[in-house]
Amino acid sequence: MNGQEQRQREIIRAVALKAQNQPMLASGLWFHHDIRDNFYYASYLFAAAVDNEMQSLLVNPADEKKKAENVLRIVLELQQQNPEQPLYGHFPLNLNPAPELANPHELPVELMGSLMVYFYQRYKEQMVADLSKKFERTLVHIYRGGFFRKPVQMFNHHEAKYTAAKIIFGQRFEDQELLDDGIASLKRTMERVTSQGMPEYGALPWFWHWVQAFTSAWELTGEPVLQRQLADMLDYLWRERALFYLKGAWVGAHSRGWPHDAPADRNVLHDYAQFGDFPLGDYMPRTEYAGFLCYPAPQDARETALEREQPAEVRKQIIKIDTGEEIPLHSYTYVRKDYAAGGILERVQEFDNEQIRWMVSFPVTADNSVNQLYFFHPGEGWREGDPRHQSEYAEVLYEKNRILAVFPIPADASQQEVIGILPKGLWFMEEAGLVGQVQNCFVSIVIKGRYEIVEHEHCDEVRLQGDPAALAVEVWGLDEATALGIESLSAFTERFRKASLTVEPSISGRSGFIYKGIGN
């Protein structure tokens, strides 16, 4: 058993124990907020209960197996199995106030459908007969419902799952036309992302939906040529992940993300299974199938992700097409062994305006504490406590370990404050701004404007105003600082006191920066 397999078993054990100890609701399920979490927890508990080595961790393996089977039964029975009804073959999503009253929703089957085929194929011999029959019937209804019978247009995570499902269900039900459509869709998707980039850059958890869907198809196909094509897609995905990987963190700009993705990287299970170079905390907001599915990343991707002794600059052009026109975006990320800095140059409206345009990232820690540092002006969708949803009022410049940003906020904007997120560390307020140490790094933030700091349990928040507000973030690993003759935070602070930032309008009307920083 290799390290990857051992880490997957660690994930299975951890989630199975959570499932064992999670109180059951009167409905016989663990959760009503999302049907998928019931399916995932039941899958892990079942897997542990039938594993000879893991059974000893459970209080009563036979009872836990029955519990998992009962949850799986309920989940399967909630499928819309009447072909005359809307969303035939689908499942409800939110089960409140009662599962039997919940209406079918288009999302759950996108991911669960392919994973159900994988789980059933892997564990059908250990299922009781009636559950096995329910799985068979459920998969028939998914196939007949045909959620995946859609063309590839936007090359997003939905279509990635449709493509994988076409292949999986086309093979399972010997539907050659559907299988051919899946193979053609796979080819088109591969050509598009390798030539023009993934439109959903840094999007979590949706990137992992690509990985899970295509890994399921790769595991389930027995046709060597098709498996090689799927492996090519997975090689691409893991090489893309490796470029923006730093010890569990997803560095650089994010086009989308859930609250647990910002300001802390917590959607880390797939990274942990693949790379394992950071501690796995107890908080697991997206268990999904990281314990079951893990295509081994190509060696060059592993080397990129794990060997960070030499700095790397990652430059990408991404063509956005979901806005109705092709919009070229340019990203830049600078990655070292203790931090990464960068983001995307242009601002573009993203789905639900969940974009985080730039950040400084630090490695993930065992306590899942905040590991991202960034500033933004709140835009559409923003609310207190949700540090996403940025406005268009920001101009940025990236150069290696430096990020310069100015926020030309109109006087009539309802929100005049810029918000900054600081990971916990040693922070000091100086005349020029903020200076501190986070993990193995010194950080300086030269600030133009008036600001205050609000302390929270997991991070500190900066509230900044100016006309315009502006800042220059500079981060140095301790070994880099030592090479500059800076061997302590106090010495770094002395250097910081000489830093300055000037913002001036340029001929183009955009802001110009004059920055004197630590490395000058």
Reported as a single tens digit per residue, the pLDDT across 296-332 is 999 999 999 999 999 999 999 999 988 778 899 999 9
Is pLDDT of 519 > 90? no
State residue 322's pLDDT score. 80
Q: What is the mean pLDDT of residues 352-371?
A: 95
- Alpha carbon distances (Å) from 125 to 113, 129, 133, 289: 19, 9, 12, 20
- Give the position of tokens 């002006």: 377
**CA–CA distance, 251 with 399 (Å, rounded to integer):** 15
State residue 511's pLDDT score. 72
Which amino acid makes up residue 155?
F
DSSP, collapsed to helix, strand or coil, labels residue 325 as coil
**CA–CA distance, 44 with 35 (Å, rounded to integer):** 15
Does residue 488 or residue 514 have the better pLDDT?
488
State residue 343's pLDDT score. 98
* Of the listed ranges 1-5, 185-189, 213-217, 332-336, the one predicted with least confidence: 1-5
State residue 109's pLDDT score. 98
Q: What is the mean pLDDT of residues 43-58?
A: 97
Q: What percent of the chain has pLDDT over 90?
A: 93
Pairing verdict, β 426-429 and 459-477: unpaired
Are 219 and 279 in contact by the 8 Å Cβ rule? The answer is: no
DSSP, collapsed to helix, strand or coil, labels residue 72 as helix
- Give the position of tokens 């063509």: 319
State residue 380's pLDDT score. 95
Segments making up each domain of the chain, as ranges: 3-296, 369-516
- Which residues are CB-neighbours of 203 under 8 A, at least 6 positions away? 157, 254, 255, 256, 257
Is pLDDT of 455 > 70? yes
Indicate the average pLDDT of the chain: 95
**CA–CA distance, 122 with 30 (Å, rounded to integer):** 23
**Chain-centre distance for alpha carbon 314:** 19
Is pLDDT of 252 > 70? yes
CA angle 299, 305, 309 (to 5 degrees): 110
- Alpha carbon distances (Å) from 17 to 11, 144, 343, 351: 10, 36, 38, 36
Give the CA-trace dihedral at 28, 31, 37, 40, to 10 degrees. -30
Q: What is the mean pLDDT of residues 374-385?
A: 96
Task: List the structure tokens of 457.
Answer: 């349990």
Query: What's the whole-model pTM score?
Result: 0.96
How many CB atoms sit inside 10 A of residue 364's CB?
Answer: 25
Is pLDDT of 506 > 70? no
- Spell out a b/e string for 285-307, using b for 16 or more CB atoms within 10 Å of the CB, else e: ebbbbbbbbbbebbeebbebbee
Task: Please measure the distance between the N-terminal and C-terminal CA atoms of the chain and give it in whole angstroms.
Answer: 51
* Of the listed ranges 174-178, 319-323, 412-416, the one predicted with least confidence: 319-323
Tell me the longest C-alpha to C-alpha distance in the chain. 75
State residue 325's pLDDT score. 83
Where residue 509 falls among pLDDT bands split at 50, 70, 90? low
**CA–CA distance, 268 with 281 (Å, rounded to integer):** 9
CA angle 331, 247, 242 (to 5 degrees): 45
Task: List the structure tokens of 433.
Answer: 């701004």
pLDDT tens per residue, range 137-156: 999 999 999 999 999 999 99
Pick the CATH number of 3-296 from 1.10.287, 3.30.300, 1.50.10, 1.10.3470: 1.50.10
State residue 323's pLDDT score. 73
